[in-house]
């Protein structure tokens, strides 16, 4: 009996993830990787218009985390263009603002929160933005399962969850293992761009800027960066930080 024949198994809707604790990739590098929590979403619903647009456009513009590697050329319908993965795109404010300025670059936005993806999808459709695609899933798992090695021109992580309590630091995405994984997915010369407004997280990153030997830390700013590094607009989370007089720290690495 397959899942479609079992009445106890609910068929997932468009762009939906199964609830509960997901399978996590087993890495054998001996490095530290963020631990995943349960995938549950108790807040945030789509309007009727958002739901209709999501159902109509997600099959073309979006995917859900799987073990199927992404064929970038087929998905974007063009060949020979650099590709960037943005992990934790949120509502996609900066994603949608930057994409038209780098129209020759393929941008894959990765996010768990469906309402955030719905807002980005709406901006993409309304703005006629052709170079954005979306994946719903955990960023580390998407990199590990769906992105081929040495295939990316860039990875962006803007204002990741700081997990401020000490017992939750193991969930922070910036870890030695994550940096190692990102380095493996970046092509030589590829760029990792991280931004945070959380002082404790900045200290955490400061301690890890040189932990991955294949990533040369270029600091901030880096005028010679081969990719767009100006985030263009204030994101929702950045705006909250600025109202609290938080200092924004940005980091750039190059894959060597």
Indicate which residues carry an active-site annotation: 161
161 annotated as ligand-binding: yes
The structure tokens listed for 149 are 């090695």
| Residue 235, marked binder | yes
Question: Do the annotations mark residue 93 as ligand-binding?
Answer: no
Integer Cα distance of 184 and 197 in angstroms: 27
Whether 48 has a binding-site annotation, put simply, is no
DSSP classification of residue 9: S
Q: Tell me whether residue 83 is annotated as binding.
A: no
165 is in an annotated binding site: yes
DSSP letters, 73-102, are HHHHT-SS--EEEEE--TT-HHHHHHGGGG
Distances (CA, A) of 52 to 44, 58, 65, 94, 121: 16, 10, 22, 24, 12
Q: How far is CA 169 from CA 21, 56, 205, in A?
A: 18, 38, 12
Flag whether 237 is marked binding: yes
**Residues annotated in a binding site:** 86, 111, 138, 161, 165, 197, 235-238
**Residues annotated in a binding site for S-adenosyl-L-methionine:** 86, 111, 138, 161
**Residues annotated in a binding site for substrate:** 165, 197, 235-238
């Amino acid at each position: 009996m397959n899942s479609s024949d079992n009445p106890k198994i609910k068929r997932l809707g468009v762009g939906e993830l199964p609830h509960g604790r997901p399978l996590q990739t087993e890495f054998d590098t001996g490095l530290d990787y963020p631990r995943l929590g349960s995938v549950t979403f108790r807040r945030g619903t789509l309007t009727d218009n958002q739901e209709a647009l999501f159902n109509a456009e997600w099959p073309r513009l979006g995917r859900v985390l799987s073990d199927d590697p992404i064929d970038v050329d087929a998905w974007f319908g063009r060949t020979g263009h650099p590709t960037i993965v943005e992990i934790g795109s949120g509502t996609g404010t900066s994603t949608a603002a930057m994409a038209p300025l780098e129209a020759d670059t393929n941008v894959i936005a990765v996010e768990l929160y469906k309402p955030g993806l719905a807002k980005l999808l709406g901006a993409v459709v309304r703005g006629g933005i052709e170079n954005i695609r979306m994946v719903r899933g955990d960023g580390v798992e998407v990199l590990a399962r769906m992105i081929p090695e040495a295939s990316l021109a860039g990875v962006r992580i803007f204002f990741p969850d700081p997990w401020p309590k000490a017992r939750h630091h193991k969930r922070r995405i910036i870890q030695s293992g994550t940096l190692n994984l990102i380095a493996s997915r970046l092509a030589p010369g590829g760029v990792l761009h991280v931004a945070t407004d959380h002082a404790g997280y900045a200290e955490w990153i400061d301690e890890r800027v040189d932990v991955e030997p294949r990533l040369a830390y270029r600091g901030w700013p880096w005028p010679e960066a081969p990719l767009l590094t100006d985030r263009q607009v204030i994101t929702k989370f950045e705006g909250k930080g600025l109202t609290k007089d938080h200092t924004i720290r940005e980091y750039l690495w190059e894959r060597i």
